[in-house]
Amino acid sequence: MPELPEVEVSRLGISPHLIGQPIKQVVVRHRQLRWLVPEDVHLAEGLTIENVRRRAKYLFIDTAKGSIILHLGMSGKLRVVNIDTPVIKHDHVDIVLTNGVCLRFNDARRFGACLWQDANSPEMAMIAALGPEPLTDDFDGHRLYDLSRNKSVAVKNFIMDNKVVVGVGNIYANESLFIAGIDPRKAAKQVSKKSYLALGVIIKQVLRKAIEQGGTTLKDFTQADGSPGYFAQHLRVYGRKGKACEVCECEIQSVTLGQRNTFFCEQCQK
């Protein structure tokens, strides 16, 4: 499942091709995605794209009258292609621009979304309920500590809660907790304020580094074989069960927390 850095790299990759361009047509081949694609997405036709922004893992393609909202779900990909590029299996939505280029949304598992947010309507409930962005001043270790005091849930599940902070997905939660030296199984309320202050900084660093690494793949958004998805990066614990810890050489362990694979070093994380 694409996580926040992958979605942010998607935004960076498609933005130069979309901003300032008028939308000629929105082509919907399959309406049944995670939610039914509304007819209102066609309201964007004839309007100019003013901005492409991200909120959590949702991408907003903004026009004067509203925004097309895209979510990549578990398998979604975005490509910037010429309109005459042959359609392939699972190409569900095209946002066709007047210059002959289109943004093509492909989603094999159909857990993604294409929605419409009217500029004059209240924010959708699923967006309004989201916590702060992790790379802004609204999020820090103080917030983590304050919200954790009565939480018995495992700290890994706690920092993955979108009401606490958005975009700390499974990979980056594992990596951040390892660097911070915090056992992911530990109850959120048992983690000290000092540890949370460090963790807040580390989460920002881990996500920024991932976005920077993903920047090397931006050219892939204009290639017919699809967007970069998970880009190459060095992971210290995620997916390394049974391998030696890079710090202490103990064997990396794995358990399931919240139906997610969780990787950690018993020696380094307390």
Active site residues: 2-3, 57, 260
Quick check: helix, strand or coil at residue 77? strand
Residue 109 assigned ligand-binding role: yes
Closest CA to 96 of 36, 26, 32, 42: 26
Rounded to whole angstroms, how far apart are CA atoms 90 and 92?
Answer: 6
What's the rounded Cα separation, in Å, for the pair 6 and 101? 22
The answer to whether 270 is annotated as binding is: no
Answer yes or no: are the C-beta atoms of 117 and 124 closer than 8 Å: yes
**Token pair of 194, please?**
């000092």
Compute the distance between CA of residue 4 and CA of residue 7 in angstroms, rounded to an integer: 5
d(CA 127, CA 252): 36
Residue 162's Cα: distance from chain center in Å? 11
Beta bridge partners of 115: 69
CA distances to 129, 142, 161, 217 from 192, rounded to whole Å, are 27, 11, 19, 38
Binding residue ranges for DNA = 90, 109, 151
Binding residue ranges = 90, 109, 151
